[in-house]
Structures are given as structure tokens and as C-alpha cells.
Structure 1
């Protein structure tokens, strides 16, 4: 539970870094999630799996928020017409 918000913050910081391409951010988040989970749970299949799940959750939360905002902006534009 602690890893997901940390990965969201890391992803936000990486997104604002001009020299890091967008496609590599998900890989950085994946490895960071795995490392954080292995530190918390130990080097096991469970630790690695939880890291992958945390990275996937962080990416999904970001996309959910991004697409919700985009959808609201489109609705406002249609209402203005």
C-alpha cells in the first residue's frame, strides 16, 4: 500500500524530467516497485509479484485520472457549442 503512492510521485517526477522518454517511465516504475517490495517482503516470488502489482496499480491510477480529466474537458467543450 505504501509503494503505490511512492511510485505515483516518482512517475510524476519522471514525467517532468525532459531527458526521460515516456516509454521508459513504466519500466523505471516497474523496477522501483520490485525493489521496494523486495525490501519490504524479502526476495521471493511474492515480493517480486507485489512490486509488479504496485507498479501496475500506480500506472493504472495515473491513466484513470488522466482520462477522467480529458473526458471532462471534452464534455465542457461540447456543452459550450
Structure 2
């Protein structure tokens, strides 16, 4: 059974995008996400979206659409890649 978990973590990005999340698939770290600060990314329309900052798996390459509106969207995307 596929297990996809998110663990909150602070990230030192050097910007206001400090809210982070470790992404674990079957208890293995596959990516680090950063939540984009709404004030900094308002013009791009992706404030509060989640962006893949780093990956540790060939199955998890940043999507063409760039960001996820929420973690459930990310979970669904990962389930398709690992399912």
C-alpha cells in the first residue's frame, strides 16, 4: 500500500518562503516543498502554492505546471507517479 506523508519543517531559503514540508513516500524522503509567500508571489498568481525545492527521487521531477495549490493536489500527483 502506498503511503504519502508530509512533515512540516522550516526552511532557510533566504526569502520569505520559509514554510516547508518534507515529502515521504513509503517512509522515504523524496522531496522538499516550500510554500510560496503570498505577498512575494501575488503577481504570478501562485502565492500560498507549494513549490518543489529539492528532489531525491527520479520519480519526482518538478511538474510542468510548476506548483501545487495545496498538499492534497501534490499527494494526488505523487500517487500517479508511484501508483
Q: Same fold (TM over 0.5)?
A: no
TM-score by length of 1: 0.28
User: Which one has more relative contact order, counting CA pairs under 8 Å at least 6 apart?
Assistant: 1
TM-score by length of 2: 0.28
Q: Which has the higher helix share?
A: 1
